[in-house]
Structure 1
Amino acid sequence: MTLPVDVWAPHATRVELITDDGRSDMSAEDNGWFTASLPAGTRYSFSLDGGPARPDPRSAFQPEGVHGPSEVVDAAAYAWHSGAEIGIDALTSVMYELHVGTFTEAGTLRSAIERLDHLADLGITMIELMPIAAFPGKAGWGYDGVGLWAVHEAYGGPTALQEFVDAAHTRGIGVCLDVVYNHLGPSGNYLAEFGPYFTYAHHTPWGQAINLDGPGSRHVRDFIIDSALRWFTDFRIDALRLDAVHALIDDSEYHLLAELSDRVDELREETGRPLRLIAESDLNDVTTITPTRRGGYGMDAQWDDDIHHALHAWLTGERHGYYADFGESSTLAKALTEVFVHNGTFSSFRGKHWGTPVPADVDPRRFVAFTENHDQVGNRGMGDRPSERLPAPLVAGGAALLLLSPFTPMLFMGQEWSASTPFPFFTDYAENELAHAIREGRRREFAEHGWTDLYGPDAAVPDPQDPATVTSAVLPWDERETGIHARMLAWFTSLIALRRETFGDGETEHVITPSYGDHWFAMRRGPLIVILNRGEDPETIEVADGHIVQAFTADDTDATTTRTDVTVPARSSVILRIGAPTPRWRTRVLV
């Protein structure tokens, strides 16, 4: 069976197809397209006007890496075990972000399948895979991808992704894929040789912007949109997380995000599956999730960093960098009730007023909240997790605020047992110049962000190019069965079950009404109250008719209740239910 092999190369007068059988001219079509067909499994490259061999921009597989030939893949050949109608809605899910390369020792999609039962038992219903598009080398975070249609060879390639999604769906778990359309990495990026994929009209932190509104941009937009739709169709992905959409600069009347949203709406109606688009945006602007028919970009949800910053700064006391405006109890209360802390207020980190208010009628499930993710752990100076610095009961309390909030909660891999491993930044560039630039860049960031003050003057940022940096991030699965790790895993599992039992799919009529003191914080949602005491002394807080559901305390002292109040031990966390007690949920975890 042969399959079409097409390429858009509007600047070329001749495109040759290179295979093991030699070179042959491709057929020139309208609008700069060249076409041919090849059997599945054939490795091939393109030559533009006699130039060097280049991989296919729409390659499904790069078996020899991003600089090598592409391989024809018949995505329809995979025999699915789960039904085509299966779809898991990200907006009713508990999400779990993982990095394929360090999730297991083998670091592949197939080895990750072996851990799906753990995630199902935990209560996870949506896995978010960090980028798996082909990127340079074997190890990396994936945000320097250059083969945006391909599945990274070291992870197992496209068939392995289909197997992973299939296995997840059979367990009732959906899969969200992190995709990067705002820039390409510096190594293996050949798009500019094929056509006007980039423009100097706009600038991003990565240099030239993707050409979304200039000459030739129709084909560039199709390159992105077709890629996104293909993940939903060929791989049955349930959701896409779009990296840094604020860097998708588009001055046209029909913004790329709005067009993509409308196209996904059509596919959602056609398939009957709840396909979702989740944006990462730094703008704190509700326009991102406003439907296109009302002038918005139509994203289904967006990440909310302000909730993370408010909770992290309150728990840890850190105030450097972008934490400068966070840390007070009142700020945490604002984040939990108003979604954005900077909703038109002055941001000292940015040096300007920032953000817009979120209307009260916006479904809070449209905001993905977290206490850990790849950014907030990996972009720390040492890649250390909060559990390395915080007492376990406060880590547990932060998890309770997250998992019992009305937002869509997301965990980061290993968080559920307070994994002892860090998640530092790492790369695998073969080019010495790039490797040096990455090392120096991380050193500068270490100094500029004030990490020396936190870690000490002798601390040194891990070398991103050192294989030991990658190895340090591999999850130690055996530790989840012992000591504090096992206790934390039991806590997270029970919290997720409590969330589902109490709130179901997260009905929006449940609201948060926080109260707080100098060293304690309380959040109420529906019949549940979460109280954290970060102080060195017990706190007695007025709560009428509260019954302890769960408590995570720092010593042998119990949390206690009367008909009018609750006493929370020092550096401890408690969950109460207002009204009739539910003994089956009473779980006390001592550390």
Structure 2
Amino acid sequence: MHIGSQYLGDRTCNFTLWAPLVGEVAVHLVAPEEKFIPLQKDERGYWHGKVSNIEPNTLYFYQLEGQTDRADPASHSQPEGVHGPSQVIDHSAFKWNDDQWQGIPLEKMVIYELHVGTFTKEGTFEAVIPRIPELLELGVNAIEIMPVAQFPGERNWGYDGTFPYAVQNSYGGVNGLKQLVNACHQQGMAVILDVVYNHLGPEGNYLWGFGTYFTDHYKTPWGSAVNFDTAYSDGVRHYFVQNVLYWLENFHLDALRLDAIHAIYDFGAKHILAEMADAVAQLSQQQGLKRYLIAESDLNDTRIIRPQTVGGYGIDAQWSDDFHHALHTVVTGENIGYYQDFGSLEQLAKAYRHAFVYTWDYSPHRRRYHGNDTSGCLASQFVVCSQNHDQVGNRMLGDRLSSLISFAALKLTAAAVLLSPYVPMLFMGEEYGETAPFLYFVSHSDPNIIKGVREGRKAEFSAFFDASGQEPPDPQAVETLERSRLNWEMRHEGKNRALWLFYQKLLQLRREIPALTNLDLNDLEALVIEPEKVLSLRRWCENSQVLCWLNFSQQAVEITTNLPSGSWQKLLDSAEPTWGGRGSQLPEKLSTEEQQTLVLNPESVVVYSND
């Protein structure tokens, strides 16, 4: 059953609202002419009505109890923002040209996370399209768009959205997103959308007025939890399951990334994530095109991705924060907050072998045991990165790795991710060493909310700015967004160009070398050479084999190794001038006849293959 407004053609539209506690509902048409059409309530609390003589783009509210106007909770468009009327959308009017699109298997994806508002100067869906060819040239084949559900104003990360079905008007609305997906598919690029089902933002959240969508049984960082398992939760579950299908069906999206599912509370016999997974599996079967759900979770819980037949939820993949944290701490030396749980190279080696570092191990930061075993899970079920919107943007100054570590270490970090056996994700701009920060920004209209956001950011980082003398940038200021825009032209210059080419080469090797294409944790060996701070990584697939040495020391080091049999040819050396390095002493070929002593440059990576 579709909810919201469903335009049927022939100037006819169905309206469906779930509001079981409301005694009277009418559709209040406000433009092009004003009308009130009463709706009828069924036994499950859904209000229905078929309205004639209505055109696409008609503006409307739902009038509750004969007096209160509310926008449609399942509004497809909010052209006047979160406080304005909803708009009837004719989804059949858009002409798709992606009939030949067959999708990209999850295990083949290289994901590129971007924020529409800062990826280009224009900050629109349409402005992303001209950059798709260069991302494809780099080796990216899937873009992941940060949330676009309608939020207050024009500036926001997207996690303060209050209309989960409506496409942000300032980005280009419904047609703008469809145009972007259509263009991507025509060129061979998959599209993933970030969606938020754990909370709604504070401004324009009119779902509160319906009395059933939230519960005080659980608390989240944003207040009361979404009601997935208490009284009247059936309509809430339907609302969000239909939202999953809405995005995949109407916008031809290839996957959804589910934000912070650790803040989704459901103790029912069938978890809401399992219900979503079932719905997506059924849609994939019906359309003959596999769609995916990718979860973000800090639980290190493999139940999320295990099949429902063994008690899991059946989600296709999840992020591995542990991989990021282990890598970040090794290259930066930071140990504040949750980073205090990390910092050793052996932890990074464990992340290569098991995806998680904490697999029911004691966590000093949490002061408890954390995580569970990943045995039996596929490497392609984990997404890894060295940077993302959270890990950059939730720093006080939004500083990227390019401002924290050396150029050599940037290449080393890129290799650590792209040589891993997991699905890699890049954060926009990292491929050329973008120097602009990615800051937290909003554009609320409520003075109290603006004040609360400002004070909250200051309180969160009080220890940092007291020590540094700097304060967090004002999240409400338009300059904060402007500072976060990419300097796209940097990719053509000097070391930035060399870094871009280095990423491109790594992605080429990942596509072409069977040992790197093969995402199998059983065909991998990750060992630490101490005290040299070298990670030795060996991966193989049938007759293809690669050896990688990643030197995380800031000094040149000597290592002695006995090579597996075969003829070993150097494929990549980050210290070579081609990649902006100072030169390398490593030979082009290695012999297996005798023990080898190799000199590895500071913060460098070298890859040999016996193909």
TM-score interval (norm. to shorter): over 0.9
Q: Tell me what 1:584 maps to.
A: none
Q: Give the aligned CA root-mean-square deviation in angstroms.
A: 1.7
Could you give the per-residue CA deviations for residues 443-492 of structure 1, whole angstroms, max 9, x where no partner exists? 11113xx5459xx5212211111111100111111111001110100000
Q: Does the 8 A contact of 2:331 with 2:552 survive in 1? A: yes
**Aligned equivalents of 2:526 and 2:137: distance in 1?**
31
The Cα shift of 1:91 comes to 3.1
TM-score (ref. length: structure 2): 0.91
Matched-pair identity in %: 39
What is the CA distance between 1:533 and its match in structure 2? 2.4
What residue in structure 1 maps to residue 5 of structure 2? none
Displacement after TM superposition at 1:566 (Å)? 5.8
Q: Secondary structure at the match of 1:115?
A: helix
Instruction: Provide Cα deviations, 1:65-90, integer angstroms capped at 9, x if missing partner.
Output: 01101111111211111116532233
SS in 2 for 1:528: strand
Q: Which moved more, 1:20-29 or 1:131-140?
A: 20-29
Report Cα offsets for 1:312-343 as digits up to 9, x if no partner.
Answer: 10011111111102111111111111211111
Equivalent of residue 106 in structure 1, options 98, 122, 125 = 122
Q: In the alignment, which residue of structure 1 is the partner of 2:417? A: 402
What corresponds to 2:447 in structure 1?
Answer: 432
**1:555 Cα deviation after fit:** 5.2
The equivalent position to 1:488 in structure 2, one of 478, 483, 499, is: 499
Do 2:255 and 2:293's aligned partners in 1 also have CA atoms closer than 8 Å? Answer: yes
Task: Tell me, yes or no, if structure 1 residue 266 matches structure 2 residue 266.
Answer: no
Q: Does 1:54 align with 2:70?
A: yes
Contact 2:526–2:535 (CA under 8 A) maintained in structure 1: no
2:526 is aligned with 1:513: yes
Contact 1:530–1:576 (Cα < 8 Å) also in 2: yes
CA distance in 1, matches of 2:230, 2:333: 46
- Find the partner of 2:379 among 352, 364, 369: 364
Contact 2:554 2:603 in 1 (8 A): no
**2:536 equivalent to 1:522:** yes
Q: Is the 8 A contact 1:534 1:571 kept in 2?
A: yes
C-alpha distance in 2 between matches for 1:555 and 1:156: 43
Is structure 2 residue 48 aligned with structure 1 residue 35?
yes
Show the counterpart of 1:7: 17
Report what 2:390 is aligned to.
375
CA drift of 1:114 comes to 1.3
Answer yes or no: is the 8 Å Cα contact 1:394–1:532 preserved in 2: no
Structure 2 residue matching 1:114: 3-state secondary structure: helix
Query: CA separation of 1:568/1:66 partners in 2, compared to 1, >3 Å: closer, same or farther?
Result: farther
- 48-57 vs 235-244, which deviates more? 48-57
Distance 1:334 1:103 in 2: 34
How big is the shift at 1:386? 0.7
> C-alpha displacement at 1:192, in angstroms?
2.1
> Residue 147 of structure 1 corresponds to which residue in structure 2?
163
In 1, Cα distance between the equivalents of 2:597 and 2:331? 21
Q: What pairs with 1:304-319 in structure 2 (closer than 5 Å)?
A: 304-319=320-335
- What is residue 502 of structure 1 aligned with on the other side? 513
Relative distance call for 1:566 and 1:467 in structure 2 (3 A) is farther
Shift of 1:577: 1.6
1:60-459 equivalent positions in 2, closer than 5 A: 60-83=76-99, 86-359=102-375, 361-447=376-462, 451-452=464-465, 456-459=467-470
**CA drift at 1:569:** 4.5
**Residues 101 and 186 of structure 2 are in contact (CA less than 8 Å); yes or no, is this contact kept in structure 1?**
no
Alpha carbons 2:584, 2:601 under 8 Å: kept: no
| Contact 1:122–1:493 (Cα < 8 Å) also in 2 | yes
Provide the rounded CA distance (Å) in 2 between the counterparts of 1:173 and 1:254.
Answer: 34
- For 1:515, give the aligned amino acid: V
| Secondary structure at the counterpart of residue 535 of structure 2 | strand
Structure 1 residues not aligned, in runs of 5+: 581-591
Deviations 1:394-435 (A, max 9, x none): 111111111111100000001111111110111111111111
Q: Deviations over 1:503-523 (max 9, x none)?
A: 375342532423322333232
Counterpart of 1:538 in structure 2 is: 556
Out of 3, 16, 21, the position equivalent to 2:26 is 16
1:549 paired to 2:549:
no
Q: Is the 8 A contact 1:89 1:174 kept in 2?
A: no
Partners in 1 of 2:322 and 2:74 — Cα distance? Answer: 36
What letter is aligned with 1:484? K
2:216 maps to amino acid = Y
Residues of 1 paired with 2:409 and 2:236: CA distance? 47
CA distance in 2, matches of 1:397, 1:522: 13
State how far apart, in whole Å, the 2-side matches of 1:524 and 1:295 are.
33
Give SS of 1:16's match.
strand
Amino acid paired to 1:389: L
TM-score (norm 1): 0.94
